[in-house]
Chains A and B, each alone.
Chain A
């Protein structure tokens, strides 16, 4: 979608494995957890790519590799900034400042992601100081402006995180992340810990800020409805693999991977009171002992012989659509209906 010049982030065949060490004197490696196992996708300028999947799918690890909390085991992460391109997976020291002011992250737990001993002015101003972007009075001015922009007040600057609600703390985290004017924001379950009525406030804030600052988002969540609301394109992950990627509406209405179908049919829905839902049995695999062939095959209603033997590769299956399934060309899968069901409000 768009020309190559539009690409901001390009992830190629990313792998992140964690070695599990046994006990005993030598603590030998007993196995590897392939948290991210060969993931490739890109994010364009101004775009929101939603990454969805259940526990153990690797979406959080993916986000952390991109923001350099983890060092990838192999693969490439390229960040395109104007006339420069940074190799994030092997970042040169002289590029770290540029990187940190280009890519930022916000986290799920508003209660543990802010230093309790720093007031809001310090918290939101710290990135400016640390990255050498501003000093002294200018910091306070920029922080004040950012705080207002995220819906808080000047009076809040001298207060500490404990006096704020979960939703307000997320606003503070957003302010802290965006004050350096990044191009890419990685949001890892930013609203999951918030009450339903507050989630909407934060989601709308993120959408508005995206417009205003022309940001790209990598939006990581397990919640399909939230992903639908914020994303342009959706990436579905399972057990470390990217199983399907497509523009939002077609992924939801015409999924091409059985796991996407399973996810969609599992989501509880207000409109489906008496409807039949397809329950997918079993559980995500133990990442230390992945099944042979396709990682999803033990739970897949359509699995055939080849699925148990050969790992499918991610391949294009239409405009902007990619799927990792041997049977994708032959399967007719069910998605969500797209026609609106009006709610009557007196």
Chain B
């Protein structure tokens, strides 16, 4: 078997039955309630879902950034597999079991897994220069580098993400940069220690569409050049379809469908995925009346006896869907759906 194909499909991150709850005064929000997925080396997993689906909390859980309290990882595993070395595979680390303030998770954050967010302004310190923030991460995680080396590397990184006059802007403050430039600087900061996995949480949602196109092209290029895995979270189906190799659709804390990007977009099976496709205006194709998804999201504190999508599902089967929660089942190679429709009798 071709070794590059083996390496390409090698698991980097293995999430199993992850549960993250928020214990609030008004009730318990089961933000992530039994989520399992893999991220493989060099591949991009796109995560689609609307508000309250748990996609951001999943990402935060991976880096143990969920505020504790009121949040807590109450169950499941987040296995981070080490890179293959000549000595053979090393032991995987369960991030979910680590102390969220300890040294082990600190060694993972930024060095193994890095994250970029929607609002670059909130990720940057307003009182430190962009360069200082990039070098800070390197100084902590790559102690073998001298200060000057880290500064040179910061300039190189800024240049590699398309920031003009990087040797000058390295000493700029984040408020001096435009939205697109800030996002590029944040990407540079995320890449500074050479992570194997980049988690991108709605990185282009707040950007103009021409700038978004630039950032998406940049991410594509970086991914291929650095052979980096990516987990790209967005509510925008079109963006997800362009950047992802595999796609995971989330609704109210669970995965409802997962498959390759081509499959999810050409042959969606879950009623939610299908309804989502029909409810979104497109730039091409016939203009038909959009079919909105009926109803609204249930309250976050609600518990569900059966399927979470029951109240809004056009294909619901009373007596079954409202009583029994469906399991995530593989209905075709690589295509899993959580829906009673596809359970063979």
Contacts and interface: CB of A to CB of B under 8 A. Distances in A.
A279 interface: yes
Contact of A338 (B239, B276, B284): B284
Interface string A284-296: 1000000000000
Nearest to B243: A268
B280 A264 contact: no
A222 B179 CA distance: 16
Contact of A200 (B213, B287, B293): B293
A298 to B, nearest CB: 12
A141 to B, nearest CB: 27
B238 A343 contact: no
Instruction: Determine the interface band of chain B, counting residues with CB < 8 A from chain A.
Output: 35 or more
B283 A264 contact: yes
Given A263-B209, A266-B212, A270-B238, A200 B280 contact: yes
Interface in B43-63: 50-51
A244 to B, nearest CB: 15
Nearest to A337: B284
B283 A283 contact: no
A204 B294 CA distance: 12
A228 B211 CA distance: 21
A269 B214 contact: no
A269 B238 contact: yes
A152 to B, nearest CB: 12
Given A228-B283, A229-B287, A266 B213 contact: yes
A54 B209 contact: yes
A277 B242 CA distance: 10
B236 A343 contact: no
Contacts of A200: 279-281, 290-293
A270 B214 contact: no
A226 interface: yes
Interface stretch (B30-38, B149-157, B258-266): B258-266
A226 B281 contact: yes
Contacts of A264: 283
B267 interface: yes
B266 A344 contact: yes
If over half of A's interface residues share one DSSP class (helix, strand or loop), that class is named, otherwise mixed; here it is loop
Instruction: Determine the interface band of chain A, counting residues with CB < 8 A from chain B.
Output: 35 or more
Interface in B172-189: 178-181
B268 interface: yes
B286 A340 contact: yes
A92 interface: no
B226 interface: no
Given A225-B283, A229-B281, A196 B237 contact: yes
A55 B267 CA distance: 36
B239 A268 contact: yes
A252 B274 CA distance: 26
Contact of B283 (A281, A284, A336): A336
Contacts of A284: 208
A300 interface: no
A203 B281 contact: yes
Nearest to A252: B283
Q: Which of B51, B210, B217, B241 has the most CB of A within 10 A?
A: B210
Contact of A266 (B180, B210, B275): B210
Interface in A324-346: 336-341, 343-346
Nearest to A207: B289
A204 B289 contact: yes
Interface string B16-29: 00000000000000
Nearest to A268: B238
Contacts of A198: 292, 296
Interface string B229-264: 000000111110110000000000000000001100
Nearest to A278: B213
A281 B208 contact: no
Given A268-B238, A281-B214, A54 B285 contact: no
Interface string A18-30: 0000000000000
A189 B285 CA distance: 23
B293 to A, nearest CB: 4
A322 B319 CA distance: 59
A211 to B, nearest CB: 12
Contacts of B267: 344, 346
A269 B289 contact: no
Given A197-B275, A344-B267, A267 B209 contact: yes
B284 A269 contact: yes
Nearest to B53: A195
A262 interface: yes
Contacts of A279: 213-214, 217
A270 B265 contact: yes
B269 interface: yes
Contact of A345 (B50, B212, B268, B289): B268
A272 B285 CA distance: 13
A284 B211 CA distance: 9
B236 A54 contact: no
Contacts of A266: 209-210, 212-213
Contacts of B239: 268
Interface in A149-206: 165, 167-168, 195-201, 203-204
Contacts of A252: 283
B216 interface: yes
A268 B277 CA distance: 14
Contacts of A195: 50-51, 235, 297
A55 B268 CA distance: 34
A341 B279 contact: no
Q: Which 3 A-B pairs have the closest CB atoms?
A: A266-B213, A200-B292, A54-B208
Given A195-B50, A203-B281, A267-B238, 13 more contacts: A54-B208, A195-B235, A196-B235, A198-B292, A200-B279, A200-B293, A203-B290, A224-B209, A225-B281, A252-B283, A267-B209, A273-B262, A283-B180
Interface of A: 54-55, 165, 167-168, 195-201, 203-204, 222, 224-226, 228-229, 252, 262-273, 277, 279-281, 283-284, 336-341, 343-346
21 contacts: A55-B179, A55-B208, A195-B51, A196-B235, A196-B237, A197-B293, A198-B296, A199-B281, A200-B279, A200-B293, A203-B290, A229-B281, A267-B238, A268-B241, A269-B282, A269-B283, A270-B241, A271-B285, A273-B262, A279-B217, A338-B284
